[in-house]
C-alpha cells in the first residue's frame, strides 16, 4: 500500500500541472464573481438613490444594468465553474482513483441506484429526494466493489405549508460481494439507544418492531458501538465471526459513523460524511495538498474495506 509520502510525490508529479491549469479559470471566475457583487451593490445603491431623488430614469438604468451584467457575468461564471468541475473530475479525481488501484473505474455523474440503496434496508425512512455522484467500481482481488456519494432526504411541511428537507443519509455508500453464503438479513447499526439510555436502551432495542430480532454478541467493545439485528441468530453469528467484529470495530475508528447490512450475498456499508467529497474548491486554491489528500484518504478507506473485512479470503464454499 502506498504511503502519504508516495502520494505527495504523485501529487507533485502528476496532479500539480493539471491543478495549475485549472487555477487559471478558477481565478478568473472568482474575479468575475467579485465584480458581479460590486456591480449588484452599486446598482442597488444607485437605484435607491435615484428613487429618493425622484429621478426614476436613474433607477431604471441601474435596474437594466443590474439585469444585463447579472446575465452576462452569470453565464460566463457558470461556464467556467462547469468547465472546472468537469476537468477536475477527469484530470484530478480519476488519476487518484487509478493511483489507488488501476482496477477501478470512475464515473463522475453515476451513483449507486436508489433501488440498491433501498435493498440494503439500512435506512427505513421513505426517501423523497435522492441524489448522488462520483461512482467508483471495480474488482479488488476476488471481490467486486462499488461505491459513490449519496444524499437521501425526506420532506415535511411546516405549519405555513412550506416544504422542509431533512437528510436521512449523506456520505459514501459502499457495496461489495460478501465471501460467505447466507440467506437471511443481518444489520449492524450504530448503537445510539444503549449509549444514551443504558439498560433501558437495550429493552428499547428489543422492542424495535421495524427490525428483525436483536442479536446480542459477545464482544463487549463491538456491542458498545453497534446494535445487531438479524432474521437468524445463528446466521448472524456465522457472518459476524469474532474476527469480523474486531475488524468492524477497527473500521469504525477510521470511518466514524458506519451502518452495515448483509443482504442478498452482498455487504452494504453506509459511511456518514458531512461534506461534499471529490469537488473542486471555488473560493480557495485547488492546489492545497491537504484537500486532495483528504479525497485520497476517503478513496483508500473504501478500497481498504475489502482488506479490513478480509473479503478476499475465500476459504468457505463460496468461490
Partner 1 sequence: MDPLYIVLIAVGVVLLIIIGIYNSLISRRNQVDNAFASIDVMLKKRADLIPQLVNTVKGYAAHESALFEKVTKLRAQVKEVGLHSNERIELENQITQSMGQLVLVSESYPDLKANENFLNLQRNISEMEEQLSAARRAFNASVNDYNNGIEKFPSNIIAGMMSFKRKPFFELPKTSRADFEKTPEVNV
Strand segments, DSSP code E, in the chain are 104-107, 129-140, 143-157, 163-177, 186-190, 213-215, 226-230, 258-263, 266-272
Q: Between residues 217 and 291, which has the closer beta carbon with respect to partner 1?
A: 217
Asked if residue 207 binds partner 1 (CB under 8 A), the reply is no
Torsion of Cα atoms, 232 then 176 then 248 then 111, to 10°: -110
Angle between helices 56-88 and 16-53 (to 10 degrees): 170
Q: Work out how close the CB of 192 gets to partner 1 at its nearest, in angstroms, rounded to a whole number.
A: 22
Smallest distance, partner 1 to C-beta of residue 254, A: 21
Are 183 and 235 within 8 A, CB to CB? Answer: yes
53 binds partner 1 (CB under 8 A): no
Cβ proximity to partner 1: between 149 and 235 the closer is 235
247 binding partner 1? (CB under 8 A): no
Phi, psi of 169 (to 5 degrees): -145, 135
Given 216, 224, 256, 288, the residue binding partner 1 (CB under 8 A) = 216
Query: What 3-state class would DSSP assign to 154?
Result: strand
Q: Residues 215-226, buried b or exposed e (16+ Cβ, 10 A)?
A: bebebeebbebb
Check residue 241 for interaction with partner 1 (CB under 8 A). yes
131 vs 243, beta carbon nearer partner 1: 243
Q: Is 221 among the residues that bind partner 1 (CB under 8 A)?
A: no
When asked if residue 317 is in the footprint of partner 1 (CB under 8 A), the reply is yes
CB of 142 to partner 1, least distance (A): 9
238 lies in the site for partner 1, by CB under 8 A: yes
Q: Which of 119, 217, 176 is nearest to 309 (CA)?
A: 176
Residue 45 binds to partner 1 (criterion: CB under 8 A): no
Indicate the Cα dihedral angle 78, 84, 89, 92, nearest 10°.
Answer: -170
CB nearer partner 1, residue 166 or residue 224 = 224
- Phi, psi dihedral angles at 63 (to 5 degrees): -60, -45
> Does the protein bind partner 1 through residue 310 (CB under 8 A)?
yes
249 scored as a contact of partner 1 (CB under 8 A): no
Contact status, residue 191 vs residue 227, Cβ threshold 8 Å? yes
| Residues pairing with 270 in the sheet | 173, 259
Based on CB atoms, which residue is closest to partner 1, 80 or 180? Answer: 180
Note whether 55 binds partner 1 by CB under 8 A: no
Q: Reduced to 3 states, what is the DSSP secondary structure of residue 74?
A: helix
Q: Is residue 83 involved in binding partner 1 (CB under 8 A)?
A: no
**By CB under 8 A, how many residues form the interface with partner 1?**
20
Binding mask 164-203 for partner 1 (x = CB under 8 A): ----------------x-----------------------
Q: Which residues of this protein are in contact with partner 1, per CB under 8 A?
A: 180, 215-218, 233-238, 241-243, 310, 313-317
Amino acid at each position: 500500500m502506498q504511503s502519504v509520502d508516495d502520494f505527495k510525490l504523485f501529487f507533485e508529479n502528476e496532479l500539480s500541472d493539471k491543478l495549475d491549469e485549472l487555477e487559471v479559470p478558477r481565478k478568473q471566475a472568482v474575479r468575475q464573481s467579485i465584480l458581479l457583487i460590486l456591480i449588484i451593490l452599486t446598482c442597488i445603491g444607485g437605484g435607491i438613490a435615484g428613487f429618493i431623488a425622484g429621478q426614476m430614469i436613474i433607477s431604471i438604468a441601474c435596474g437594466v444594468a443590474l439585469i444585463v451584467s447579472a446575465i452576462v457575468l452569470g453565464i460566463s461564471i457558470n461556464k467556467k465553474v462547469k468547465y472546472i468541475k468537469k476537468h477536475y473530475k477527469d484530470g484530478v479525481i480519476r488519476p487518484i482513483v487509478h493511483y489507488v488501484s488501476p482496477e477501478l473505474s470512475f464515473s463522475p455523474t453515476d451513483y449507486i441506484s436508489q433501488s440498491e440503496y433501498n435493498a440494503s434496508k439500512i435506512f427505513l425512512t421513505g426517501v423523497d429526494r435522492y441524489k448522488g455522484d462520483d461512482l467508483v467500481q471495480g474488482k479488488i482481488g476476488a471481490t467486486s466493489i462499488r461505491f459513490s456519494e449519496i444524499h437521501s432526504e425526506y420532506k415535511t411541511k411546516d405549519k405555513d405549508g412550506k416544504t422542509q428537507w431533512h437528510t436521512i443519509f449523506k456520505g459514501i455508500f459502499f457495496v461489495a460481494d460478501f465471501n460467505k453464503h447466507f440467506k437471511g438479513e443481518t444489520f449492524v447499526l450504530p448503537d445510539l439507544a444503549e449509549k444514551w439510555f443504558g439498560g433501558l436502551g437495550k429493552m428499547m432495542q428489543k422492542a424495535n418492531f421495524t427490525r428483525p430480532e436483536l442479536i446480542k454478541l459477545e464482544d463487549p467493545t463491538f456491542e458498545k458501538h453497534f446494535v445487531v439485528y438479524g432474521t437468524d441468530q445463528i446466521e448472524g453469528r456465522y457472518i459476524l465471526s469474532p474476527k469480523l467484529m474486531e475488524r468492524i470495530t477497527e473500521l469504525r475508528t477510521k470511518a466514524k459513523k458506519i451502518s452495515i447490512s448483509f443482504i442478498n450475498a452482498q455487504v452494504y456499508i453506509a459511511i456518514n460524511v458531512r461534506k461534499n467529497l471529490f469537488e473542486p474548491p471555488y473560493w480557495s486554491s485547488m492546489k492545497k495538498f491537504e484537500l486532495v489528500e483528504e479525497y485520497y484518504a476517503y478513496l483508500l478507506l473504501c478500497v481498504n474495506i475489502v482488506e479490513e473485512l478480509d473479503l478476499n479470503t475465500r476459504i468457505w464454499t463460496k468461490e
